[in-house]
Amino acid sequence: MNVIAIQSSGNQTSLCAIIKDDVVQYSLKHERKERPNWSEMLSSIGLDSFFTLEEIDIFAYANNSNSYTATRSVAAYLKGITSAISKPLIVIDSDDVDNLDSDAVAKKALEMYLDSKNNSASFKPDAANPIYSSVPQYKKVNE
C-alpha cells in the first residue's frame, strides 16, 4: 500500500509518503499565517520522479486541534486531490494527534484502512471533514 499523509500544526508542516517499503518524510517550518506549497513538498519526496498521485492508495491528514486553519487548508487540498482521482481520504483524530509527525499519521491511516478490510467506501473524501475537539467560542459582534 502507498500512503501520503500531511500533518500541519500552525508553524510547521510535515508530509510523509509510504511507497511500498520506503518511508520518506519532509518537514518545513513556516510562519503561522503562511501555508506551504504542498506541490513543492510532494516534489521534494519524489512526486513525479519516483511515484505519481495515481499510484497512492490512501491519503490522510491529522485533525490538529492546535491550528484549525492549517487543518482546514490541508483538508481542502487533499479533498480536491482525492475527489479528482477517486481515492480514500482518512482523517486521523486521536488524543495525541497534535504530537504526531506525518509518518505516524501515515502509519495510523494505513492501519485503519487495513482494519476496514480495504473498504474505500468507508473513507470517502466528502466525509473527511476537520472537526473541533471542543465547542468553539464565538464572539458576537455588535451586541
Q: Which of 9, 34, 35, 26 is nearest to 99 (CA)?
A: 9
Over range 102-131, report the average pLDDT. 93
Q: Which residues pair with 89 in a beta bridge?
A: 59
Q: CA-to-CA distance for 4 and 25, rounded, in angstroms? A: 10
Residue 102 or residue 36, greater confidence: 102
Average pLDDT, the chain: 87
Least confident of 13-17, 50-54, 62-66, 108-112: 62-66
Q: What is the pLDDT of residue 33?
A: 72
Name the most confidently modeled range: 9-18, 52-61, 68-77: 52-61
Q: What is the pLDDT of residue 138?
A: 59
Q: With H, G, I as helix, E, B as strand and everything else as coil, classify residue 47.
A: strand
Instruction: Find cell 492501519 and name the residue.
Output: 111
Q: Are 25 and 16 in contact (CB under 8 A)?
A: yes
Over range 128-139, report the average pLDDT. 68
Q: 80-93 burial string, b = 16+ CB within 10 Å, else e?
A: ebbeeeebbbbbbe
pTM, two decimal places: 0.85
For 54-107, the DSSP string reads GG--EEEEE--TT-HHHHHHHHHHHHHHHHHHT--EEEE--TTGGG--HHHHHH
Which class for 96: exposed (0-12), middle (13-18), buried (19 or more C-beta within 10 A)? Answer: exposed
Q: CA-to-CA distance for 14 and 18, rounded, in angstroms? A: 13
pLDDT in tens, 27-67: 988 877 777 888 888 998 888 888 999 999 999 999 887 77
